[in-house]
Amino acid sequence: MRKHIVAGNWKMNKTQTETVELINELKQQDLDANVGVYISPAFVNLSKAVALTADGNIQVAAQNMHQSPNGAFTGEIAVNMLQDIGVNHVILGHSERRAYFGETDELLREKVQVALDVDMEVIFCFGEELNERKEGTHFDVVKKQLTTALFALDVSAWRNIVLAYEPVWAIGTGETASPEQAQEMHAYIRSLIEYHYGVKCADDVSILYGGSVKPANAAEIFAQPDVDGGLIGGASLNATDFAAIVNGFAS
């Protein structure tokens, strides 16, 4: 059975003091216990976040990791460093990593495999750019991203994969995909998984939508049958907004 998940990607925001404040504010919110709640602070604040969330239901995810186990990669973070401080979830393939740090689906395939090999859960992000949506190639783009990065994996690997469809034109722009556009793409993604891995695997994978989700639009997006939650950027930096989004599923 797939889970409802709402994950907050804090990106390069919040000092350690602010991280502590925001987590404490979040812990005071009444969060739907049937939703998996994730937060993803900056690397330097992960240890603190793990310690502060140890007594509750909030999971902590890293925003990235390197594909090598260790070595001469100045400025990078390896998977065992994350696990050693209690981080067992990682966001990979965010559009900002792709756009500003040159991450390709070939590279992401390596990162995903390295994470899965040690039982990390991967939140894998992908989605088309605005020009691709306008040209009508968005289904092909998404299919290619998933095929390159994920579809060589064994079916058993999928128990540790969460997908996050994030149309790049909707990230941080205030422009949201309509609930119908999100549903159409999520159903397509699920059909691809079914084709490669069978109906059970497709049914069990949580597919999140990301792109300008706010308290005002979360409920209608989450009401779509193939949308299992959201990856939230800007609105995850405010505890009451994030809580309202977490609580956006119909009960």
Known catalytic residues are: 94, 166
Cβ proximity to ligand PEP, 45 vs 197, nearer residue: 45
Instruction: Name which of 41 and 202 has its Cβ closer to ligand PEP.
Output: 41
Please report the DSSP string for 69-132 in residue order.
SSSS-TT---HHHHHHTT--EEEE--HHHHHHH---HHHHHHHHHHHHHTT-EEEEEE---HHH
Q: Which one, of 86, 50, 63, 59, lies nearest residue 13 by Cα?
A: 63
Q: How far is the CB of 97 from ligand PEP (least distance, A)?
A: 10
Q: Determine contact, residues 42/15, Cβ cutoff 8 Å.
A: no
> CB of 155: closest distance to ligand PEP in angstroms?
27
Closer of 41 and 210 to ligand PEP (Cβ): 210
Residue nearest to ligand PEP (CB): 233
Give the interface with ligand PEP as residue ranges (CB under 6 A): 9, 166, 171-172, 210-213, 231-235
Nearer to ligand PEP, 126 or 249 (CB): 126
Q: How far is the CB of 199 from ligand PEP (least distance, A)?
A: 29
The minimum distance between CB 152 and ligand PEP, in angstroms, equals: 25
Alpha-carbon distance 240 to 71, whole Å? 41
